[in-house]
Structure 1
Amino acid sequence: MNDLTLLYVEDDLEALEDVVYLLKRYFSNIYTATDGEEALELFSAYSPDIVLLDINIPKINGLQVASKIKEINDEIPILFLTAHSETEKLLKAIDLRAISYIIKPFSIEELNESIVKTIKMLNKQSLNNNILTFTDSFSWNIELKELSYKDEKLDLTKNEILLIELLINNKSRFLTAQDISEMIFPDKQVESNSIVQLISRFKNKVAKQTNLKRFFIENIYSQGYRIK
């Protein structure tokens, strides 16, 4: 099961029950609504990751619901379900950047395929959002605090992790050794020369592990250090 949530909007109670049963293995929570007003209330309350939306629902139709949802979150993936295949509705769904447009009656395989495809897309986006890339194929995983070279993880000390995070958070400017000392060790008296030595040792260690002479931290005389 993914740590993802789904809003499923369907006025056919039998279909709603069947689909929830089929999809509950994919989601930590499935919120269900039987009309457009309830759907918008649930979306505002719970901010689900994916919306599975029947177009022909009471009070506010699915296309109008989708349009309002997109005003709140333009990136939300929406999968449309409908018993109709009119060109006008299909074009409207495409205009709303639907992930899928599934015509009823649909097969279990078709629904599963659309859901799995959407989950993979979200997982990939999440992973990419957590990864920063540097020069020469270095990457930094923000969440895990891991440095990799060509997908191979490099060993880091606590101070090296703090150094990388500091330079990433200030990547638009150079930081002097004194700046780094004060930001990483605010409660300690750490000499600037100790920071220079820390970075030098880090550079040598990375060079040894990667066989690269270049380093992703650049040092400009009289300006300081920054991530390339």
Structure 2
Amino acid sequence: MSKFKILYAEDDETLAFLTKDNLELNDYAVTHCHNGEHCLEAFRSGSFDICILDIMMPKIDGFELAVEIRKIDHHIPIIFLSAKTLKEDRIKGLRLGADDYLVKPFSIEELLLKIEVFLKRSQKKSIPEKERYTVGGFEFDADNYSLVKADKKTVLTQREAELLKLFLDNKNTVLKREQILTSLWGNDDYFMGRSLDVFISRLRKILSEEKEIGIENLHGIGFKFTVKE
């Protein structure tokens, strides 16, 4: 199983070295960026399981960076590490979508514990129990893998049905390619990725007569199932 991937933004070189070293000793794969601009570029081009962000950084500060990350991914855990100790700063960080806020100097043990907790939570994120959906002119029965429009019924494969359900549970939200592969197959290897492309092409073809529905390919990121309501 591949290591969890951490995106870490910190402009203090000494602190960054020590933190990155400790995270890697605990078997995390860490991408470190010295400023917010480089961090945002890395996030857009890569795939990560959690973000750890300093606030006072050059180019783009941590608050603005969190806003941009949340535009791309609504679910990835974000932890702020900051010397800002005011309650107002903590509240601002959490309102911007952070999952937690640690004040410097922080305990590496506490950081590791929080990372573990948030990764477990994100990996086990509950999927709504809804099994029947209406999307455009289609009625989708996830239990029976059937997609019906008027008198026309299409029976999907199990994987196709699971993929469509995942899209509908997260409609109008960006899903990273790795998220989809892990949700459906438990890993994100190359061959599963090719299978995913086939399933998406088939779903696009089936749903193509509904102009209000689309599966948008976000190059280097993933897919977005769009429904105009």
TM-score (norm 1): 0.55
Give the Cα–Cα distance (whole angstroms) in 2 for the partners of residues 173 and 102 of structure 1: 55
Paired AA for residue 115 in structure 1: I
| 1:176-212: CA deviation from partner (whole Å, max 9, x where unpaired) | 9xx87xx88xxxxxxxxxxxxxxxxxxxxxxxxxxxx
Paired AA for residue 9 in structure 1: A
Paired AA for residue 103 in structure 1: V
Contact 1:8 1:30 in 2 (8 A): yes
Paired AA for residue 168 in structure 1: Y
1:114 equivalent in structure 2: 114
CA separation of 1:171 and 1:20: change in aligned 2, threshold 3 A = farther
Structure 2 matches for 1:45-64, cutoff 5 A? 45-64=45-64
Shift of 1:54: 0.4
CA separation of 1:166 and 1:75: change in aligned 2, threshold 3 A = closer
Give the Cα–Cα distance (whole angstroms) in 2 for the partners of residues 22 and 172 of structure 1: 55
Shift of 1:132: 7.0
What is the root-mean-square deviation of aligned Cα atoms in Å?
A: 3.1
1:167 equivalent in structure 2: 144
Shift of 1:98: 1.5
Structure 2 matches for 1:14-29, cutoff 5 A? 14-24=14-24, 25-27=26-28, 29=29
Q: Which has the higher contact order (CA 8 A, sep 6+)?
A: 2
Q: Residue 167 of structure 1 aligns to a residue in which SS?
A: coil
- The reply to whether residue 78 of structure 1 matches residue 55 of structure 2 is no
Structure 2 matches for 1:145-224, cutoff 5 A? 167-170=144-147
Give the Cα–Cα distance (whole angstroms) in 2 for the partners of residues 103 and 2 of structure 1: 30
Paired AA for residue 36 in structure 1: G
* Runs of at least 4 residues off by over 6 Å: 131-134, 171-176
Unaligned runs of 5+ in 2: 132-141, 158-229
Identity of aligned residues (%): 32
Shift of 1:6: 1.0
Shift of 1:115: 0.8
1:91 equivalent in structure 2: 91
CA separation of 1:67 and 1:170: change in aligned 2, threshold 3 A = same
Q: Residue 52 of structure 1 aligns to a residue in which SS?
A: strand
Shift of 1:169: 4.9
CA separation of 1:133 and 1:110: change in aligned 2, threshold 3 A = same
Unaligned runs of 5+ in 1: 135-164, 185-228
Give the Cα–Cα distance (whole angstroms) in 2 for the partners of residues 107 and 41 of structure 1: 28
Contact 2:77 2:119 in 1 (8 A): no
CA separation of 1:39 and 1:170: change in aligned 2, threshold 3 A = same
Out of 34-43 and 90-99, give the one that drifted further.
90-99
TM-score (norm 2): 0.55
Shift of 1:88: 2.5
CA separation of 1:132 and 1:18: change in aligned 2, threshold 3 A = same
Give the Cα–Cα distance (whole angstroms) in 1 for the partners of residues 72 and 46 of structure 2: 12
Give the Cα–Cα distance (whole angstroms) in 2 for the partners of residues 51 and 94 of structure 1: 14
Shift of 1:55: 0.6
Shift of 1:85: 0.9
